Amino acid sequence: MFSLKGKNAVVTGAGSGIGQAIALAFAKQGARVDVLEINTEAAGETVEKIRSEGGEANAVECDVTRHDHVQEVFDKLGIDRGGLDCLINNAGIAHVGNITNTSEDDFDRVMSVNLKGVFNCLKGGVQQMLKSGGGSIVNIASTVATMAINDRLAYSTSKGGVLAMTYAVAKDHLHDKIRCNAIQPGRIHTPFVDGFIAKNYPDNQEEMFRKLSEYQPVGRMGKPEEVAAMAVFLCSDEASFITGSPFAVDGGTLYVR
Ligand code: NAP
């Protein structure tokens, strides 16, 4: 079960954190993985890790915010690989702020990576899947797409949009054998979280780490591998009846507070 053998997968932002864990897990399950990253050094590290474990991977420089460039990347991958089976839209950035202190520039920047970046990759990815007769897409949203926490105005808005795009793509491509689902991770311990704590709470990092861990009903943060396992399942043939659904991987945050 859960084999991805023979499948071509693209994971965006796979140089770090959740994306890296997804790329490693996909390769372990037999997929050939293209690591799309703005950070080429980080992409190279992920590829090295995969190859050292006997998997197949390739690093591709890609800034998901650049529409035409993203299109070219997907067109080329479609030709080189002979199609696309799995697309994981994972690249994203954090932002802290409410409506009064979020600047227009900050709002635009968050939207451009977290929402337009997903739009750009969906466009490129769905075109390739239509050519190769179907596929599975997983968009990494967040618990804050459907619940409020303080000071995440722009970030939550972008993730709500990711969820809405998930439903739209699932509906539009129901009969094209393209499934599109979303994962709503709770707080997962990655460089994204460490960077957030260091930037916003430089003087009490340990206390903030403890507080953020205790926020999850299970009492800890998640691990990137725990999100990756859900992505593997959603792209496997065992998930063939699942489309247009959000899946919480959140230690109980959304439903068992
Ligand atoms: P991360 O460790 O910061 O990894 C994100 C990766 O995406 C980084 O390698 C980053 O490169 C890359 N990236 C940023 N902008 C990009 C762009 N324009 N084009 C291509 N790649 C780009 O983050 P993470 O914690 O693994 O988060 C991954 C996803 O999960 C994000 O969408 C995030 O919103 C979501 N999520 C995370 C959590 C959590 O608690 N960690 C919770 C819910 C949802 P640079 O390092 O160079 O910026």
Ligand 1 binding pocket includes 13 (Cβ within 6 Å): yes
User: Does 146 map to a domain?
Assistant: yes
User: Does 22 map to a domain?
Assistant: yes
Ligand 1 binding pocket includes 83 (Cβ within 6 Å): no
- Ligand 1 center to 12 CA (angstroms): 9
> pLDDT per residue over 220-250, tens digit each?
999 999 999 999 999 999 999 999 999 999 9
Domain range for 181: 8-186+222-247
- Other CB atoms within a 10 A radius of the CB of residue 229 amount to 16
- The answer, as to whether pTM is greater than 0.85, is yes
> What angle (nearest 5°) sits at the alpha carbon of residue 117, between those of residues 255 and 168?
55
Pick the residue whose CA is nearest to atom 31 on ligand 1.
92
Spatial contact of 224 and 21, defined as CB atoms under 8 Å apart: yes
User: Does 36 map to a domain?
Assistant: yes
Question: Which spans in 133-204 are helix H?
Answer: 153-172, 191-200
User: Does 71 map to a domain?
Assistant: yes
Nearest to 137 by CA among 36, 1, 11: 11
> pLDDT per residue over 185-233, tens digit each?
999 999 989 998 999 899 999 999 999 999 999 999 999 999 999 999 9
User: Does 201 map to a domain?
Assistant: no
Side-chain-facing half-sphere of 158: CA atoms under 13 Å: 27
- Please tell me the predicted confidence (pLDDT) of residue 182: 99
Is position 255 annotated as part of the catalytic site? no
> pLDDT per residue over 109-167, tens digit each?
999 999 999 999 999 999 999 999 999 999 999 999 999 999 999 999 999 999 999 99
Domain count, the chain: 1
The CATH number of the domain holding residue 232 is: 3.40.50.720
Rounded average pLDDT over 26-39 = 98
User: Does 207 map to a domain?
Assistant: no
Q: Rounded to an integer, what distance in angstroms lies between the CA atom of residue 69 and that of residue 67?
A: 6
User: Does 48 map to a domain?
Assistant: yes
User: Does 256 map to a domain?
Assistant: no
